[in-house]
Amino acid sequence: MVTTSTSLDSLAMGQSIRDGDTLVSASGIIEVGFFSPGNSTRRYLGIWYTNVSPFTVVWVANRNTPLENNSGVLKLNEKGILVLLNATNSTIWKSNISSKAVNNPTAHPLDSGNFVVRNGQGNNDDNILWQSFDYPGDALLPMMKLGWNLETDLARYLSCWKSVDDPVEGEYTQKIYLRGYPQTIEFQGPHIITRAGSWNGLSNVGKTGPIHEISQKFVLNEKEVYYEYWLRDRSVFCVHTLTPSGKAQTWFWTTQSSNRQLVSTGDKDPCDQYAFCGANAICNYEGNIPNCECIRGYAPKSPDQWNISLWSNGCLPRNKSNCKNSYTDGFLTYTNMKIPDTSSSTYNTTMNLEECKNSCIKNCSCTAYASLDIRDGGSGCLLWFNNLVDMRKFSQRGQDLYIRVPASELGATRKLISKHYKIKQKKEDVELPTFNLSVLANATENFSIRNKLGEGGFGPVYKGTLIDGQELAVKRLSKKSGQGLEELKNEVALIAKLQLHNLVKLLGCCIEGEEKILVYEYMPNKSLDKFVFDETKRYLLDWHTRFDIISGIARGLLYLHQDSRLRIVHRDLKTSNILLDANLDPRISDFGLARLFLGDQVEANTNRVAGTYGYIPPEYATRGHFSMKSDVFSYGVIVLEIASGKKNREFSDPENNNNLLGHSWRLWTEEKTMELLDEVLGKQCVSSEVIR
């Protein structure tokens, strides 16, 4: 319970606040004051949100030294130190002493939830003498760092409350563990209980919960190692907490709805338990039943226990390694993996994947390797030595892990590989897994209209769900389609060789009788046009998100034209062929009309003009002349549509008889570019980015 009498926006040198007074942030979102948690009568100095129900405290100063009555006083002294005094004027808590020269210090609660002491009147970070963000409690807020300042040896980590009535440090902590390649780990006392995983360029693979409203980053250099997240929408609030029972929960609320919602419960399944399967084994959780499987070339250490589902002893190699023949070893690719504990790994940020593989094969103790960063086809190198611990198989997230096996095991594995669909393309074999028609019919409820996601030139696309829960996008060739087997083969031959985050991933195909089907990873947010041109969903795309989408499409296009080992012209770029994943990251899709350019070839002609009017350039529409510039033209149309929220083919400027392109050019020449911007974006955008 909190009672207030006076409110201040800052605390100047020599000033104080008493129990009942509060310090309030500029927008009134955050308060600093005294409170009693739960049913307790003890008093604590804390930070809480004012615009949310129930009462949400995110930081406690004197969590280990409570006040026994309402006589607490917080002062700011001439050295810039916050001092908390009790009834007998004894100090029960104080902030750290800064090494900087102090001149007229002031203390401020910020809208971010940070409580800072500043040196003088400046608002930049260099003027901060002390901040609560450096000393987290049980809550991680946006823009708060979880990790280490290596120069000062300052550790920022979460520690739970003992109970809802007692904020004293409990037994659970969440930390960035620095040994080997840094990773996020939750401890119960000194024991690891779960491992969120190491950063892969996009996220911590083992983390669960919604991330579509947040952006994340991980910083690793000689000065700092930390994880941080921030919100894309300023009307949304988010708090990540570590509960007294050890659950890592995430809460969201908005300015429109002040009731906080639990969006990540922190519940753990058996595979979340650290080393549930022991060493050299992979945990799989399907149908609410955990299962452990030894990696290829390994066998259970305790077969009798393994047979009754007691897996904690893990697996051992079937045969001892012969280092003299290490170059005859090979690697098996395990997909959608939570990679092993990286505390015994080494890493290199400059190697590519091939160099990483060669480095591993040269070292007899190296047991596995993986990309450090999975974006843009992968970069950097992680190497493991000896045992591989705490691995997990996911149905659709995770990353590729390459595990070393002797040549004898590679031969056995090749015999177990299922049939593949092969297409000859420029003297190269493209191998792609096939799906049985009955499996896809089951997954889509016999291609039910309820599961239909949309329809393009190839035919309808359906959402499918396999027995293991994996979601698919199933593209079925329509008998009325102008496209056919050649387009299907073309798409398979091209996209099966492409690996980039901003290109949709082809999982397999099905050719049975008259049925011709392609199977892709499922994109939960469907296509870009469903957002940009929708009167409701367009509000979900703020400028920051639109700019990220524009940049992501550009990365995908650059890869197709320049960075992949093939040079590919897509020929049908449009907003409906840009799919959005759960994070609203864009993926270029539909390669049925794409063409491969060989060597130094930069242009070509076709007798059959394909593509979509409104997106194809004039020289292609009139003469069949296409090149990489054709895709760039289509990309430009998409950019204008994203920025304006209007369709090129449907837009009409009655005063000047212009389509969207002509209208945009007129505004540009008249230096009125900002008038093109979608009206729902308001003034929250960065004008320099819009104009660029």
pLDDT tens digit sequence for 326-347: 556 889 999 999 999 998 899 9
Confidence band for 55, pLDDT divided at 50, 70 and 90: very high
Determine whether 572 is an active site residue: yes
- pLDDT score for 368: 95
pLDDT of residue 440 exceeding 60, the answer is yes
For residue 621, what is the DSSP state? H
pLDDT of residue 422 exceeding 50, the answer is no
Both 669 and 553 in one domain: the answer is yes
Domain extent at residue 381: 271-416
Do 575 and 528 contact (CB within 8 A), yes or no?
Answer: yes
Rounded average pLDDT over 195-204: 84
pLDDT of residue 213 exceeding 90, the answer is no
- pLDDT score for 249: 93
**DSSP string covering 377-425, please?**
G-BSEEEEES--BSEEE-SS-SEEEEEEE-HHHHHHHHHHPPPEEEEEE
- pLDDT score for 324: 56
Both 168 and 143 in one domain: the answer is yes
For position 572, which CATH number holds? 1.10.510.10
Which tokens go with 377?
């086809």
Both 112 and 38 in one domain: the answer is yes
Both 216 and 351 in one domain: the answer is no
Both 27 and 43 in one domain: the answer is yes
Domain boundary among 101, 135, 169: 135
pTM of the model: 0.60
- pLDDT score for 417: 35
Q: How many domains does the chain have?
A: 5
pLDDT tens-digit map of 542-601: 898 999 999 999 988 988 888 766 678 888 899 989 999 888 889 988 876 777 664 444
Both 313 and 184 in one domain: the answer is no
Confidence band for 412, pLDDT divided at 50, 70 and 90: very low
Which tokens go with 422?
């092969």
- pLDDT score for 194: 94
For position 190, which CATH number holds? 2.90.10
Q: Which residue has the tokens 């700019």?
A: 547
3-state per-residue secondary structure call for 658-683: ECHHHHHHHHHHCCCHHHHCCHHHCC
Rounded average pLDDT over 93-121: 89
CA distance 380 to 348: 6
Which tokens go with 93?
């808590």
Both 651 and 580 in one domain: the answer is yes
Contacts of 143 (CB under 8 A, 6+ apart): 112, 114, 133, 228, 230
- pLDDT score for 426: 38
For the chain, the 3-state helix, strand and coil shares in percent, each to the nearest 5, are 20, 35, 45
Do 310 and 302 contact (CB within 8 A), yes or no?
Answer: yes
CA distance 462 to 118: 57
- pLDDT score for 182: 93
Rounded average pLDDT over 357-376: 91
Rounded to 5 degrees, what angle do the CA atoms 513, 516, 517 make?
135
453-461: long-range contacts (C-beta < 8 A, 24 or more apart)?
453/526, 454/526, 454/527, 454/576, 456/576, 456/577, 456/590, 457/481, 457/482, 457/483, 457/572, 457/592, 457/593, 458/483, 458/487, 458/488, 458/518, 458/590, 458/592, 459/483
pLDDT of residue 682 exceeding 50, the answer is yes
CA distance 314 to 270: 15
pLDDT of residue 615 exceeding 80, the answer is yes
Domain boundary among 521, 542, 561: 521
pLDDT tens-digit map of 518-539: 888 888 888 899 999 988 888 8
CA distance 546 to 232: 11
Do 10 and 104 contact (CB within 8 A), yes or no?
Answer: no
For position 31, which CATH number holds? 2.90.10.10
Structure-model confidence comparison of residues 480 and 641, the more confident one: 641
Both 384 and 424 in one domain: the answer is no
Q: What is the mean pLDDT of the chain?
A: 84
In this predicted structure, which of 164-168, 283-287, 317-321, 362-366 has the lowest mean pLDDT? 317-321
The order of strands in the sheet holding 22-24 is 7-8, 22-24, 30-35, 44-49, 56-60
CA distance 49 to 112: 10
Rounded average pLDDT over 342-364: 91
pLDDT of residue 211 exceeding 80, the answer is no
- pLDDT score for 453: 87
Rounded to 5 degrees, what angle do the CA atoms 621, 626, 630 make?
85
pLDDT tens-digit map of 367-378: 999 999 988 878
In this predicted structure, which of 6-20, 142-156, 382-396, 481-495 has the lowest mean pLDDT? 481-495
- pLDDT score for 459: 80
- pLDDT score for 208: 47
Rounded average pLDDT over 608-621: 73
Which tokens go with 418?
């299922």
Q: Any idea how long the chain is?
A: 692
For position 447, which CATH number holds? 3.30.200.20
- pLDDT score for 323: 61
Both 482 and 629 in one domain: the answer is no
Do 455 and 577 contact (CB within 8 A), yes or no?
Answer: no
Work out the number of other CB atoms within 10 angstroms of the CB of residue 537. 13
First to last CA, the chain: 52
SS3 628: helix
Main-chain dihedrals φ then ψ at residue 485, nearest 5 degrees: -60, -35
Q: Which residue has the tokens 């086809």?
A: 377
- pLDDT score for 601: 46
pLDDT tens-digit map of 147-160: 999 998 899 999 99
- pLDDT score for 427: 35
Do 46 and 59 contact (CB within 8 A), yes or no?
Answer: yes
Both 383 and 506 in one domain: the answer is no
Confidence band for 480, pLDDT divided at 50, 70 and 90: low
Confidence band for 16, pLDDT divided at 50, 70 and 90: very high
Both 684 and 538 in one domain: the answer is yes
pLDDT of residue 476 exceeding 50, the answer is yes
pLDDT of residue 643 exceeding 70, the answer is yes
Both 361 and 311 in one domain: the answer is yes
> For the chain, what percent of residues have pLDDT higher than 70?
85
Do 675 and 685 contact (CB within 8 A), yes or no?
Answer: no
Rounded average pLDDT over 68-96: 93
pLDDT of residue 60 exceeding 50, the answer is yes
Catalytic residue, chosen from 542, 572, 581, 590, is 572
pLDDT tens-digit map of 457-468: 678 899 998 877
